[in-house]
Amino acid sequence: MAARTGRGFGEARMNYFRTAILLAAMTALFLTVGFMVGGEQGMLLAFALAAGMNLFAYWNSDKMVLRMYGAREVDARSAPDFHGLVAELARRGDLPMPRVYIIENDQPNAFATGRNPENAAVAATTGLLRMLSREEVAGVMAHELAHIRNRDTLIMTVTATLAGALGMLANFALFFSGRNNSNNPLGAIGTLLAVLLAPIAAALVQFAISRSREYSADRIGAAICGNPLWLASALEKITYGASRIDNEAAERNPATAHLFIVNPLHAHKRDSLFSTHPSTENRVAALRKLAAESGITVYQPARSAPAAAPRRGPWG
C-alpha cells in the first residue's frame, strides 16, 4: 500500500510538472509572438485585453457554461439518489459539497466547473444517468470531483487566457501588417507566421494540458469511488454513446469540449491531433492496470439502468 501511495504521489507530481512546462511554453510563445507582431506595446495591449476578458470568465465561467447547456440545479429533494451519491463521494474525497446539476441531453457525458473547490459544480446529462449503473455513475462523478480537487478548471482558465491573448495577437498582426514595424525581426514573414501558426500552436498546447489532466483525474477519481473498474466501464459506455448521439450545444461551443469527461464532439469531425482527451482505450488500460495492482479483477454492476429508461427516473 505504501508503495502504491508513493507511486501515485510521484505520478501526481510528474503531471503537475508537465502541466507547468506546457504553461511555460504557452507563455513563451505568447511573449515571442507579441514582440514579433507589435513590439512591446502590442504585446502588453493584447495581454491586458485578454486578461480583462478572462478575469471576467474566472468569476463567471461556471454560470456561463451551466447556462450554455441549460443545466438545472437539483438538491436532495428533487434528485435524492444522484445528489446523495455526489455528497457521499465528496465526503470520501474530503471536498466541500459542490452544486449538482442535471442537463437534459441524450448524449451520456458529465463535467465539473468552478474556480475552486469552494465554488464548484458538477453536472451530468440525463443520457448518462439513464445508460450507466450506479457504480459507473459513481466512477464518473468521482472523476469530476478529482478535477475540482486538482483545481484543473483553474488551470484551463489560465491556458484559455493565454490562448485568447495569442488569438488577439494574430488579429493585431493583420492590422500591423501594412505598417513598417521595426520591432518585427522577420518583417512580413514574421507577421504571416504569427497569423497562421500562433493560434494552432496555442491550441495544441491547450489540448496537451487538458489531456494530461484527464489521466490524473482518472487515477484520483478511482481512489475516491473505490474501484477503478467502475470508471473504466463508464468510459467505454460513454464513449460509445457520445460517438453516436449528437450534443448540439457542444458542437456550437467547441471551446468547452475539454470540460467533459469524454469528448462531446464527434471524432470524425475533429482530427485526433486536436483532441481534448486521451484515447478511451489508453485510459481504460491504465485504470485496469491500477485495479490489478489493487487486487481488483472483476466488476459486476449491482444495477444497470435500462437503455430505454424514462427521462425522469430514480436519479431525478
Q: Give tens-digit pLDDT for 160-192.
A: 666 666 666 666 666 655 555 555 555 566 566
Q: What is the largest CA-CA distance in the chain?
A: 70
Give residues with Cβ within 8 angstroms of 52, minimum separation 6.
Answer: none
pLDDT confidence tier of residue 78, bands split at 50, 70 and 90: very high
Q: Note the pLDDT of residue 10.
A: 55
Every domain of the chain and the residues it spans? 62-163+189-293
Q: Determine the pLDDT at residue 165.
A: 65
Closest CA to 258 of 231, 276, 240: 276
Q: State the pLDDT confidence band at 195, using cuts at 50, 70 and 90.
A: low
- Residues marked as catalytic: 144
Residue 14 CA neighbour count, 13 Å, CB half? 9
270 pLDDT tier (thresholds 50, 70, 90)? very low
Write out pLDDT tens, residues 272-299: 555 668 899 999 999 999 999 988 876 6
Q: What is the model's pLDDT at position 302?
A: 46
Please name the residues in contact with 59: beta carbons below 8 A apart, sequence gap of 6 or more.
Answer: 115
> β-pairing, 99-103 with 110-114?
unpaired
The predicted pLDDT at position 74 comes to: 97
What's the whole-model pTM score?
0.78
CA nearest to 149, candidates 177, 118, 104: 118
CB 198 within 8 A of CB 166: yes
* Yes or no: domain 62-163+189-293 corresponds to CATH 3.40.50.10070: no
Nearest to 81 by CA among 247, 305, 288: 305
pLDDT at 277: 82
314 close to 79: Cβ distance less than 8 angstroms: no
Helix (H, G, I), strand (E, B) or coil at 203: helix
Return the pLDDT at 48.
74
Q: What is the pLDDT of residues 210-267, one digit of tens each?
A: 677 899 899 999 999 999 999 999 999 999 999 999 999 998 887 788 889 998 987 5
What DSSP state is assigned to residue 98?
P
DSSP 235-291: HHHHHHHHTTS--HHHHH-GGGGGGBSS--S-GGGS-GGG-SS--HHHHHHHHHHHH
Q: Is 172 helix (H, G, I), strand (E, B) or coil?
A: helix
The 10s digit of each residue's pLDDT in 65-75 is: 999 999 999 99
pLDDT tens string 31-64: 677 676 666 776 677 677 667 776 777 788 789 8
Q: What is the mean pLDDT of residues 14-30?
A: 66
